[in-house]
Homo-oligomer: A and B are copies of this chain.
Amino acid sequence: MCPPALPSTLGQLPTPALLLDLDILERNVERMAQRARQLGVALRPHVKTHKSPQIGRLQQGNGAQGITVSTLEEAAAFADHGFDDLTWAVPVILGRLEEAQRLAERVRLRLVIDSAVALEALEASGFPFHVWLEVDCGDHRCGVDPEGREAAALAAALAASPRLCFDGLLTHSGQAYRATSPVGLPGIAEQERRVMTQLADRLRRAGVEVPAVSIGSTPAMSAAASLEGVDEARPGNYVFYDFTQVELGSCEVGDCALTVLSSVISCQPGARYAVVDAGALALSKDPGRGGGKPTLGEVFEDYRGARLSAGVRLTGLSQEHGLLSAPLPVGTRLRILPNHSCLTAACFDGYWVLRGTQVVDRWPILRHKS
């Protein structure tokens, strides 16, 4: 994948190109590690954001204890790169238990369930899987109702299983992405903590051993005042942040490490728009948080510099075309701050790693999906 010699500067890169600002990345990794220490929780970062062993090792070097993945392909790819403690933080796919077992025979793979059906399948497998019970702390996607009977019944069954190893209670405060203002984030973070610690307390009072409580999302981690009673957190997006996190109030524009370098390829005389070479397969079609007409990323002529093209937005994306809200000369090169860095990274084979405008490395992205 790597060219024989790296281009030496930003100006020499072909577009569209995925740019990773290493100074910002390192700062983000250090800050979140520090924040986790201050809050008294272990950090198990979600690598679905970057799919990069290099970034995973940077996180481990800053004290991360294990990693989180979103697919079995990610788990296997990171296992191949020496990562040996992985939580697959999506309810297990029942048709893939044999694959999961083969992987769990060589690394510590922790599965997640939220149903009796999945528990039965794991018991029937006969393999001593590590298992988290997923709890719905308000996102209403996956996870058992913390107030319902299922939560207590499944936790008790897991804790009592003669074969399975119960890791504890796990949740994801995805509702933080629907917060209407940064003011709402601390409340969402506290709700996540409270729901989880109250359930853990209730189970423990009933005699169920709950080894740990795992929570996490980048916006909630940015806002949590206390994580008392929580053992680990699993934020992922914070390594890069993105325009959605800026709008949420999790970070500033200057904290965003990932941009897409693009070129204007079309602009007609008299037109009020221009077209760039970064489309849905360079930025994803994530509409971000804008209501109504989607705004598909913020545009800079000179990122973090003075030449911010204030008000220039992406207003449309087709497969390989992006529409800008203002005309700019053909050949103009722009850095686009994407709405969603996780989906953007998954469009590319690798990162162009920069210090300022110098290209210092090329890191592959393990985006394998069978």
Contact = CB atoms under 8 A, between A and B. Distances in A.
Interface of A: 1, 14-17, 48, 70-72, 90-96, 99, 114-115, 117-118, 121, 134, 136, 141-145, 148, 150, 174, 263, 265-269, 275, 277, 280-282, 284-287, 318-321, 323, 329-331, 333, 342-343, 346-350, 368-370
Given A93-B263, A93-B265, A349-B369, 4 more contacts: A48-B320, A91-B330, A280-B284, A348-B370
A71 to B, nearest CB: 6
Contacts of A142: 265-266, 275, 321
27 contacts: A1-B368, A14-B93, A15-B95, A17-B370, A70-B320, A90-B321, A91-B265, A91-B275, A93-B263, A94-B263, A114-B266, A115-B268, A117-B329, A118-B330, A136-B268, A141-B275, A142-B266, A142-B321, A148-B268, A280-B284, A280-B286, A280-B343, A281-B369, A282-B369, A284-B284, A284-B285, A349-B369
A147 to B, nearest CB: 12
A318 B318 CA distance: 20
A343 B277 contact: no
Contacts of A134: 266
A319 B91 contact: no
B284 A287 contact: no
Contacts of A263: 93-95
Contact of A281 (B72, B91, B121, B346): B346
A265 B323 contact: no
B320 A71 contact: yes
Contacts of A1: 368, 370
A349 B370 contact: yes
